[in-house]
Structure 1
């Protein structure tokens, strides 16, 4: 299919999303009104609605359907320098929609929203491509169990002993970071912001390069690059879509 692109103000996208009977914006997108009065806000809303009515066509409707009823949705949130990262994508069958919200001077307020309708096979490359360039981490990374961290507080300090797990974790993770992003894939649509099961990981850029970090019973950070991160996202999307179809599509085998 041919790619289609649209741009909206933060309010404009909020109005558009409300038109498909969704109250909560796709995470991590955010809109916060700067109108001084309720009357001003209502006037701005009506103005955006009138403009959007003239832009609606079948392609835009198709994009909204994918966003509202995905088989899998991808959320990437974090910081690149001082700028907030806000990226959301939705996948349904062969189609995908990508939302990218521009940062503003305030981390609590999102800017313009750029939306693209595309082939599903392109989405992971475009999502990860929104991260800044970074070299592969040059260090060995780190692997520590949460049990070790919990037990660390109970262990007495011994002179000359290796650094305890908590100290090693702090030494690695508390270095200055230029980028931190949480990438997560969820099944189906989100009706609200309640927590849901996900497949995901963190991407963290330190002075010596980029690391992929996974939580769970064991916290593990390994040196990584763009190709590896994209592959991990592809796998998460594939597993999520497959599980969603097995549960919701009787004809899927």
Structure 2
């Protein structure tokens, strides 16, 4: 229904992503193509490796420690746990081991969400009054963070401390898509500092240079593309999630692959995601 939050564990060759509204976690062996589905008790949207046995996942109540073998969950860092009207959305781990994670209204209520910084369980608000937090990613040197509020459709850039992932100044507009087709959604930043951003409603992934120029667009056979991730032994391919959420029967008839997850053939210079530091 709402594919989101893909990531890749290079230690096991496994890609992970969520169906947020379906409360499911998908696990895929990239080489064999075998996919497993795990039912979750809550809506969740972000996963990161902790170590061989554990992962951290962001859910509607906060960060849960997940046992890889059993799927058992333990709430370790509450985030808006007492707010039944919000859930987690986009997020990514910084090279220092801290996590940036966004929340939003379950029905995308204007300004109901925020973007948080979480380091060793300490939660700090970075940006509030966010409607749909997305595109959270970091430059290869860890000195720049990118993010967007899809409702505003401007990709933002902010200088951050590479040691802590905390902002050093105010965000500024990196790319203005407010008059463009579709909405800026999830993103990853490659080894050259190029930002690959899924464009919701436009069936594509766009590449932006470190200077803020759109330099490439890759077509995806589903209109509501939601988030990319680097996958494969060399992190040289893009996995992209999509969604069926909010589509009419007629729209689904014209978009039969809506909600599927894809691997694109176009080669990329990706990077492996860092582990979350408990």
**TM > 0.5 fold call:** no
The one of the two structures with greater contact order (alpha-carbon pairs below 8 A, sep at least 6) is 1
TM-score under structure 1 normalisation? Answer: 0.30
Instruction: Tell me which protein shows more strand as a share of its residues.
Output: 2
TM-score under structure 2 normalisation? Answer: 0.28
Instruction: Tell me which protein shows more helix as a share of its residues.
Output: 1
